[in-house]
Structure 1
Amino acid sequence: MGINLDKGQQISLQKAGGGTLSVVRMGLGWQSAPRKGFLARMTAREIDLDASAVLFAGKDPVDVVFFQQLVSKDGSVRHTGDNRVGGAGQGGDDESILVDLSRVPVHVDQIVFTVNSFTGQTFTDVQNAFCRLVDETNGQELARYTLSGGGTYTAQVMAKVHRSGQGWNMSAIGEPANGRTFQDLLPAIASHL
C-alpha cells in the first residue's frame, strides 16, 4: 500500500531503486452515500462522477482528457472510459486515467486531475471517494488521497502531477469547487499552478 496523502502533501515519483516511473494510473473511486428516511430503501441512487486530466504548459491549459475526449492529442494521457454509477469506493477504481510520463511533451509541466458531478449532485451524496496513483508497470499503489466528509460542492480539484527537475512529483490538492465540467473548474485550478 502506498502513502496516504493529506491535503497539500507532495511525494516524488522516483522509483525506490532509482530511476523514474514510466506509466502511472490515476484512479478514482466512490460510492453513493446511503439515503436516510422512509423512502431510503425504495429508491436506489446512482452518482455519476467524472475524472478529468488537464495538461498545462505553465499556466496555460494545452490539452484535456475526459469522458468526451479519451486520449490526449499526443497520446501520452488516456482515459479508460466513463463510469456513470460508481461503486468501488475503497476497493478498485471506478474511472482511471493512464499517464505515460515518458511520452508527455516537454512543454507540459503539470497535469491536474479533477472530479466533477456532471449531473450536479453534491458530494453530500458521495461516500468513500478517493484518488490514487498506481505504478502501472507492477500495479503497486504509490499514493492515495481520500476525500473526507461530504459537502455541498459538485467538484474537486484532486491532485496534480508536475515536473520537478528531471522527474515528476505528485501533490494532493483536495480543493472543493463547483462545476459540472473541467472547464467550470479552470478558475479553481489556476491557484494551484
Structure 2
Amino acid sequence: MIRALVVGGVAFNTMIQVERFPEPRAQTVFSRGYHEALGETGAGKALNLRKLGFDVTLHGPIGDDLYGRRIEERLQQEGIHFLRDLDPRGTERHVNLMDAEGGRISIYMAYATFEPQLDLARLEALIPTHDYDTNGAGDALFAGFLFGHARRYPIEQCSRLASIVGALCVTSEELAAPTLSPELAEEEYRKHFG
C-alpha cells in the first residue's frame, strides 16, 4: 500500500443547506437540511486518498475539546493515522451555508492559531528520503506522450507511456534514463497496463 503524508488544516463543520442565500437583512430562513462533517483541505485530501487505497497519515492542529475528539474518532474510523499538535485556540469550526446551485458561504465560528507551534522534528521524521533525481522528469513525460502519439495510440495510452518514461527518468542521474528505448517503454507498458 502506498503511504501518503498530508500536512494541513482540519476543522469540524456544520453544513446547512438553503434554497438560496439570504439577502443581507433581518429575516428568518428555513434550511433544507443540515449535517456535521469534517472540514478543511488537509482532512479532505486525507479522506479521499484513504478511500483510494493509500495508507494515510494526516497531521493537523486541533483543540483539546469535544470537536477535536470528534475529529480524531472520525479519522480513526476511516483508518487514517492522525498526528495532532494542540491548538490553544481550540478546534477550528465553520458553519457553511450551501445553496441549491452548489454555492457556499463559509462562516468561521472558531479559527485556528495563525502560526501554531508545531513539532516539526516529528513531521520531518515521517518524510522518507530517497535517491531520486527529478531533473528532466517533465521533459521525459513530454517525450513519452509524444512517443505514443507518434504511434497513433489513444490518448489514454499516450498518458500512460508518459508516466512510464517520466518514472524511468527519476530513477537515474541523467536527463534521460540510460536504459530508455522504444522496446523498454512498450515492455513497461505491457507489464503495468496489459
Q: TM-score by structure 2 length? A: 0.24
Structure of greater Rg:
2
What TM-score does the superposition give when structure 1 sets the normalisation length? 0.24
The higher-RCO structure (CA 8 Å, 6+ apart) is 1
Q: Which has the higher helix share?
A: 2
Higher strand share: 1
